[in-house]
Amino acid sequence: HYTCARKPLSRLLEMFAIPAAAVACGYLPTKRLGLFENLPRDAAREWAFFSRQRDYFFSLPGYKERYRDFKTDILAVSFTDDEYSVEPAFSSLLNFFPRCKIEHVHLAPDRVGLKRVGHMGFFRAKNKEKLWNLVGNFLLGTTKDKGNKNIADSLG
């Protein structure tokens, strides 16, 4: 399910660079690269391992069954310019939650007035005003009250 524009580079990172850097440094120094907070060594190695699996962490014994019985509302937000979590892979991940009511919003950055969001951009404070209200509206259940068909309509 995992395909991305930079797949050969991603595979090298997952198989060699991430585990090696995590062991050498004692953590994965992703903050230096401007990506996200540094990851502890074991978390980085686990992330690299899961990234190589067809079903990500659902490849672990019992995980598919555990999540198959999970039931809640889920807001899933993906972006057209995410080179790692491409739409088919993202949608396939959602299939592991068959009892959940899922609202999947797949957005182009220009839909919310941004040039780029990418893989981690949703979590950056600079995108707070443009993106985070999606989650707030979902949690508060306010989008349906305003007559919106779906949560993406609350973007304006």
Report, as an integer, the average pLDDT of 107-112: 93
Residues 6+ apart with CB under 8 A from 146: 154
Query: Residue 6 is encoded by which pair of tokens?
Result: 């930079």
Whole-number percent of the chain with pLDDT over 90: 29
DSSP element (H, E) containing 31: none
pTM: 0.73
Unique residue bearing structure tokens 């972006």: 79
Query: Residue 153: its pLDDT value, please?
Result: 67
Nearest to 50 by CA among 59, 41, 42: 59
Query: Residue 131: its pLDDT value, please?
Result: 92
Statement: residue 10 has pLDDT above 70: no
Query: Residue 32 is encoded by which pair of tokens?
Result: 């230096």
24 vs 14 pLDDT, higher one: 24
Whole-number percent of the chain with pLDDT over 70: 81
Statement: residue 122 has pLDDT above 90: yes
111 vs 84 pLDDT, higher one: 111
Task: Give dist(CA 51, CA 48) in Å, integer.
Answer: 5
- What mean pLDDT value characterizes the chain? 83
Query: Residue 20: its pLDDT value, please?
Result: 82
147 vs 151 pLDDT, higher one: 151
Query: In a 3-state reduction of DSSP, which class is residue 79?
Result: strand
Assign 1 a pLDDT band (cuts: 50, 70, 90): very low
Enumerate the H helices of the chain as residue ranges: 7-12, 18-25, 41-51, 63-68, 87-94, 133-140, 142-145
